[in-house]
A = this chain, B = another copy of it.
Amino acid sequence: MARQNLKTEDIILRAAKKVFTRKGYDGTTMQEIADEARINKALLHYYYRTKDKLFLKVFRIVFQLFVPKMGKIFSSEMTLFEKIEAFADTYIQILINNPYIPVFVMKEITSNPKRLSNTVKYLGVDPEQLFQPIRDEIKKGNIEPIDPRQLFVNLIGLCIFPIAAKPMVMAIMFNNNEEEYLKFLQERKKEVPRFIINSIRKK
């Protein structure tokens, strides 16, 4: 029944997450998930009926991780600059721990938006949480005027891109030296907020 204290159902889910996020829905076979979970292929169907249902379960979990949890940070008492710093630090670390997720999510949503639209809608970020403090600071004259949507996309994009494009970034800039690449990402936790704040703060 159990293996390393986990129920079979969870062993399968963990294995499926690993394979799906690396190879995508179409590139993944039930056999490979079974091998990864060290169980029989038929068991997958016993627990999750179809590949599609298993995939959807994995996608929902992964999407939760991918969607930045801004609520706690942006509803806090921090200043806008502190929020940006806290967000970049937290989010980049999540992505470092889950480097396959950005491309996986973007690919699956792109090539099958209908199937996943409910999940995307339901778990939607509320960018208003970020927009409002930005508008406030602009009104108070504390930062330079900027479209909050542009700033929002800038913040997220600066965090996600170097991880989504990992193989190219590594090849072009670090001669495929992973250690150097990871150091670069660590520096980015400070660099991204610094870059953003430099851009919007009053001169």
> Are A168 and B111 neighbours in the complex by a CB distance under 8 Å?
no
Min distance, Cβ A134 to any Cβ of chain B, angstroms = 13
> Are B191 and A150 neighbours in the complex by a CB distance under 8 Å?
yes
A residues lining the B interface (CB < 8 Å): 22-27, 100, 103, 106-107, 109-111, 113, 117, 120-121, 124-125, 127, 144, 146-147, 149-150, 152-154, 156-158, 160-162, 164-169, 171-173, 184, 187-188, 191, 195-196, 198-200, 203
Q: How many copies of this chain sit in the oligomeric assembly?
A: 2
Q: A150-B188, A153-B161 are in contact. List 12 more A-B contacts (CB 8 A).
A: A100-B110, A106-B165, A109-B167, A110-B166, A125-B172, A149-B184, A150-B184, A150-B191, A154-B195, A157-B160, A157-B165, A160-B161
